[in-house]
Amino acid sequence: MRLLRLLLEVLSVQYGRKLKTFIRIEVTTAALAGLAFVLVVPTLDAMLQRDTGRAVTWLVVTGAVVAVYAVVGYQGKALGYEVGSTVSRALHRRIGHHVVRLPLGWFDGTRQGPMGQLASKGVVDVMGVPAHLARALIVAVVTPLTVVVGMFFFDWRLALSALVMLPLLVVMAQVTGALVKRADRRLHAARGEANARIIEFSTHQPVLRAFGRSIEGDERLDAALVEQRDATRKLLFTAVPGITGFIAAVQIAFGIVLVIGTNLALGGDVSVAEFVALLVLTVRFIEPLVVAADLMGALRLAESSLGRLSELLAEPTLPEPEKPTLPTSSEVEFDGVRFGYEADRPVLDDIDFVARPGTVTALVGASGSGKTTVTRLIARFWDVDGGTVRVGGADVRDVTTEHLMSQLSLVFQDVYLFEGSIVDNIRLGRMDATDDEVIEAGRAARVDEIVERLPDGWHTQVGEGGTNLSGGERQRVSIARAILKDAPIVLLDEATAALDPANEVLVTQALRALAADKTVIVIAHRLQTVRHADQILVLGDGRITERGTHDELIDRPGGTYAAFWSRREAAQGWRLAASPS
């Protein structure tokens, strides 16, 4: 029931109606099956008393019921599959629709794996609910119920003895469910730990192997695997008594009917033919219940997938303004901005600055000082805790996501390219660009230099994530994309990893083409970039500790910028030698 409620919750109203119709049809089918079984009693009774005429009459009635059962059943099945594909469509649409509305900060790089699982296997688990699970469950409940009701018409004592175990079955299922849930939690934790250790084992292989650990076995991994085994075993031993009890109780019910029925028949209290016919019926009563026990596992799986889906859909999205305003220029302004990823740990505190159109603002500071956070707040990865971020005079929260994004070009360090050709990837910058415009942007970003070396030129496939290109090459493609887009504000995270000299030159040329006449805010790692910036903001402990141009800051005695500069310059002149210098 919880399952159906969840399912109706994640499906919207239009799809939900179909599901309800489906359930009604399935209940009818299961009841008709029960009715057909009940009709076996008078037929069999007639046959055992050699009354062929009466037997044939009942057979005709039973046949009619079976015919209706077949027709309704067919419709149910057809609808079940239709609901299945509808569920797939509806869930995928809702996931896609919801995910694009989540704040960019939600995508922290750990989401791909679980989300991929959820949208493929998770959705399949849920799709199976109507066509397989719900169907089998309805049969397991409604058919025996109909049979028992039918039995009351023939002999209430036997019907009652078939029912005697029912409360026990319900209690057994409940208690086992609760116990299994607890053991399941332990297993879930153990599995998570084992996953982490396996990932560690494979990424740290060189380190582990250096001292023979992998050859003897990594003891941390082994401990995690053993704990996972123990937790699985615990789950098994928790579930077994419940399942055993359930199946045993079902069979005991049969035994009770047999004993009481025999007693009544021997005492002449019930007609022998009726008793034998009811025994046949009891078998039909039991079978679906045994099937139900088998379904518990699948049910739990679907329930947890559905739970995770509804959690995802409940993830709060970035609020959109009701009365959107439009930025009037490409000026970026921070006004007393306060922000933290966790409530009591501010990353930025009281940040004020203005980045004017046509200027370069360089952000400098130790790692963890909040440089990346500044650029992310402009692109509204997150909303600020205090103060205001303005673009062209408008609070970013008052600008629609679509419009805000149209004002920004983001060039990250870790560039992701979509599977497709180089041209396709550049064109993402502006979908309606002509081929000439795309190639023009590519030239400006020095992608032409890459293309010359590749067999298929501009139409070379970049591979999933762009893996066929090197880091520097990927970055140039992404810069070309930004050049084509030609947004007035450029947010740039300069590459930290050293590119080989040739790439370094070309990336620099590409960036120069991109930055011309724009409002540029750059997380600067290269000294030349910092030196020529119109404004340098030095961040420390979430605040701006110094600001100005290179010439203003470099001579300030005891200043952090001066210290930063001299250390970085020293690093540039570093020489590696085998003998200590």
* Binding residues among 292-351 for other proteins as defined by CB under 8 A: none
Which tokens is 537 given? 């903001």
Please list the alpha-helical segments (H only) found in 267-370: 272-314
Residue 178 CB neighbour total at 10 angstroms = 10
The only residue of 8, 166, 258, 301 in contact with other proteins, by rule CB under 8 A = 258
Buried/exposed 435-450: b ≥16 CB within 10 Å, e otherwise: eebbbbbbbbbbbbbb
Size of the site for other proteins (CB under 8 A): 185
244 binds other proteins (CB under 8 A): yes
Q: Considering the complex, what minimum distance in angstroms separates the CB of residue 496 from other proteins?
A: 5
Cα–Cα distance for residue pair 195/208, rounded to 1 Å:
17
Q: How far is residue 417's CA from residue 108's CA, in Å, rounded to a whole number?
A: 17
Q: Which two tokens stand for residue 449?
A: 């230099």
Dihedral of the CA atoms 116, 120, 122, 128 (nearest 10)? 180
State the greatest distance between any 2 C-alpha atoms of the chain, in Å, as a whole number: 117
Minimum Å gap between C-beta 464 and other proteins is: 7
In the shown chain, the binding pattern of residues 183 to 222 toward other proteins, with x for contact by CB under 8 A and - for none, equals --------x--xxx-xxxxxxxxxxxxxxxxxx-xx-xxx
Nearer to other proteins, 164 or 279 (CB): 279
DSSP label of 465 = B
Q: Which is nearer to other proteins, 112 or 323 (CB)?
A: 112
- State the SS3 of 72-96: HHHHHHHHHHHHHHHHHHHHHHHHH
Interface positions, 401-420, toward other proteins (CB under 8 A): 401-402, 405, 408-410, 412-414, 416-419
User: Does 52 engage in binding with other proteins (CB under 8 A)?
Assistant: yes
Contacts with other proteins in 119-148 (CB under 8 A)? 119-121, 123-124, 127, 131-132
SS3 330: coil
Give kind and range of the element (H or E) at residue 332: strand 332-339
Among 43, 146, 305, 375, interactor with other proteins by CB under 8 A: 43
Alpha carbon dihedral 293, 298, 301, 305, in 10-degree steps, equals -130
Shortest separation between residue 16's beta carbon and other proteins, angstroms? 17
Among 276, 296, 301, 454, indicate the residue that binds other proteins (CB under 8 A): 276
CB of 173 to other proteins, least distance (A): 17
Looking at residues 450 to 509 of the shown chain, list those that interact with other proteins (rule: CB under 8 A).
463-465, 467-472, 481, 485, 492, 494-505, 508-509
Q: Tokens 């088998």 sit at which residue?
A: 294
Q: Which is nearer to other proteins, 65 or 387 (CB)?
A: 65
CA distances 153 to 60, 63, 257, 332, 477, Å, are: 20, 20, 16, 82, 79
Residue 579 C-beta: closest distance to other proteins, Å: 7
Residue from 61, 115, 301, 562 binding other proteins (CB under 8 A):
115
Q: Residue 97 carries which side chain, given as an amino acid letter? A: H
Binding status of residue 265 toward other proteins by CB under 8 A = yes
CB nearer to other proteins: pick between 157 and 191: 191
Instruction: Out of 27, 66, 141, 296, point to the residue binding other proteins (CB under 8 A).
Output: 66
Site for other proteins in 371-400 (CB under 8 A): 379, 400
For residue 255, state whether it binds other proteins (rule: CB under 8 A). Answer: yes
> In angstroms, what is the minimal distance from the CB of 174 to other proteins?
21
CA atoms within 13 A on the CB side of 526: 17
- 494 token code pair: 């300069």
- Minimum CB distance to other proteins smaller for 168 or for 386: 168
Q: Residues 487, 490, 491, 497: is their CA dihedral positive or negative?
A: positive
Among 56, 171, 314, 354, binds other proteins (CB under 8 A): 56
Which residue of 93, 181, 459, 556 would you call a contact of other proteins, by CB under 8 A? 93
Minimum gap (Å) between residue 386 Cβ and other proteins = 24
**Scanning residues 534 to 553, which ones bind other proteins (CB under 8 A)?**
534
Question: How far apart, in whole angstroms, are the C-alpha atoms of residue 563 and residue 569?
Answer: 10
CB of 390 to other proteins, least distance (A): 19
**Does residue 112 belong to the site contacting other proteins (CB under 8 A)?**
yes
Among 2, 5, 17, 81, binds other proteins (CB under 8 A): 81
The only residue of 4, 27, 59, 168 in contact with other proteins, by rule CB under 8 A = 59
Q: Which stretch binds other proteins (CB under 8 A): 16-24, 266-274, 342-350, 437-445?
A: 266-274
Q: At what angle do helices 501-515 and 471-485 cross, to 10 degrees?
A: 10
Chain positions 506 to 535 lying near other proteins, rule: CB under 8 A, are 508-509, 511-512, 515, 520, 522, 525-526, 528-529, 531-534
DSSP string of 222-265, one letter each residue = HHHHHHHHHHHHHHHHHHHHHHHHHHHHHHHHHHHHHHHHHHHH
